[in-house]
């Protein structure tokens, strides 16, 4: 039982799949449970962020209601994100409630992306509620670089969280945003370190989302170029492997591990997109790189037809994103990644 009156479990009778106008089935929902975070990563948000008032944020019950409706409509993978999801009060109650869909077979996977700072506290509870694997964002193992990138964070807390997650039996993937001036030289060592402890790793190009205090063009690093650099001293073999997201993976012969690349700028991944994102305010974005939005909070608070609203939004999902990055250009979308969900 959940600690609150969660809606009934999604029916095991599958309704018609969510198919967009380009024939892509939407089977993956990413849900931001909060815009708040205990770090202030320089590429993600401004140093002095103004966070949302509580009245605008979905309650745990509303988050469960919308996620469960998506599951009833054919979503098979659910990722909880933030901000930082583990700072949301009652977050584990939400995980416990949603885990009923794993038990019923309606959901294949329940997972989350975290910065790892509070992971040591919650790793055992996550595992106990059916979470099998998680993504941990870690852009540098150097304490000083990490402190500067996160504006005060302690990398040792993150590493302790990864240790705790692995001890709890969770499979951990390390995500790192590739930054030309801050961590480019460290990336090979980061990959070797992650693979050495049995973790996959994914590199991500910086994305032009939201006004921040820096010009992202100074930090943009093409992962196509990074891959060529790594291939000059490692044996990289393309893999037909996917976790349901946008990463393209290779096997690194010398380390024995998997390495993913998320390349929204140098090589977009729109043709296979199976994902939509729900913000903590109930706004549904069917494309990370577009300003499209459907207000599901208004639908549920006004007693509207949630299934119909979801179908309408999916039907209008665009073919591809508008990400671009040129010196001095405004962000491709105005909302911050911390609001949309990582």
Query: Where do the domains of the chain lie?
Result: 28-340
pLDDT value for 251 = 98
| Ranges 124-128, 260-264, 328-332, most confident | 124-128
Give the model's pLDDT for residue 125.
Answer: 98
Q: Is the pLDDT of residue 9 over 60?
A: no
Per-residue pLDDT tens for 66-81? 999 999 999 999 999 9
What's the pTM? 0.86
Does the structure show a pLDDT above 50 at 209? Answer: no
150-204 confidence digits (pLDDT tens): 999 999 999 999 999 999 999 999 999 999 889 999 999 999 999 999 999 999 9
- Dump pLDDT digits (tens) for 88-127: 999 999 999 999 999 999 999 999 999 999 999 999 999 9
Residue 280 in this model has a pLDDT that exceeds 90: yes
Q: What is the pLDDT of residue 242?
A: 82
Better-scored residue on pLDDT, 138 or 336: 138
Q: Give the architecture (CATH level 2) of 28-340.
A: Alpha-Beta Barrel (3.20)
What percent of the chain shows pLDDT beyond 70? 81
SS in 3 state form for the chain? Answer: CCCCCCCCCCCCCCCCCCECCCCCECCEEEEECCCCCCCCCCCCCCCCCCCCCHHHCCCHHHHHHHHHHHHHCCCCEEEEECCCHHHCCCHHHHHHHHCHHHHHCCCCEEEEEECCCCHHHHHHHHHHCCCCEEEEECCCCCHHHHHHHHCCCCHHHHHHHHHHHHHCCCEEEEEEEECCCCCHHHHHHHHHHHHHCCCEEEEEECCCECCCCCCHHHCCCCHHHHHHHHHCCCCEEECCCCCCCCCEEEEECCCCCEEEEECCCCCCCHHHCCEEEECCCCEEECCCCCCCCEEHHHHHHCCCCHHHHHHHHHHCCCCCCCCCCCCCCCCCECCCHHHHCC
């Amino acid at each position: 039982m959940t600690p609150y009156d969660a809606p009934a479990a999604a029916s095991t009778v599958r309704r018609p799949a969510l198919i967009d106008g380009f024939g892509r089935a939407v089977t993956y929902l990413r849900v931001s449970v909060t815009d708040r975070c205990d770090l202030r990563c320089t590429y993600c948000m401004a140093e002095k962020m103004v966070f949302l008032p509580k009245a605008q944020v979905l309650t745990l019950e509303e988050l469960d209601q919308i996620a469960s409706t998506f599951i009833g409509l054919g979503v098979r993978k659910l990722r909880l994100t933030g901000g930082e999801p583990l700072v949301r009060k009652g977050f584990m109650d939400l995980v416990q409630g949603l885990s009923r869909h794993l038990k019923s077979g309606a959901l294949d996977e329940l997972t989350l992306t975290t910065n790892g700072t509070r992971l040591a506290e919650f790793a055992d509870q996550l595992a106990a509620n059916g979470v099998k694997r998680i993504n941990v964002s870690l852009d540098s193992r150097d304490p000083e670089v990490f402190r500067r990138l996160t504006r005060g964070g302690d990398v040792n807390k993150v590493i302790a969280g990864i240790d705790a997650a692995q001890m709890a039996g969770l499979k951990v993937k390390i995500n790192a945003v590739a930054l030309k001036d801050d961590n480019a030289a460290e990336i090979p060592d980061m990959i070797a370190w992650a693979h050495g402890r049995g973790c996959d790793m994914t590199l991500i190009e910086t994305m032009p989302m939201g006004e921040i205090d820096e010009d992202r063009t100074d930090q943009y690093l093409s992962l196509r170029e990074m891959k060529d650099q790594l291939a000059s001293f490692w044996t990289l073999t393309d893999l037909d492997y996917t976790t349901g997201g946008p990463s393209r993976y290779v096997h690194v012969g010398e380390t024995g591990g998997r390495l993913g690349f998320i390349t929204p700028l140098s090589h977009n991944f729109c043709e296979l997109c199976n994902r939509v994102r729900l913000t903590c305010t109930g706004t549904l974005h069917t494309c990370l790189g577009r300003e499209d939005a459907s207000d599901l909070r208004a639908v549920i608070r006004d007693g509207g037809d949630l299934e119909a609203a979801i179908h309408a939004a999916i039907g209008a999902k665009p073919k591809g994103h508008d990400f671009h990055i040129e010196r001095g250009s405004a962000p491709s979308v105005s909302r911050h990644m911390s609001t949309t969900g990582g």
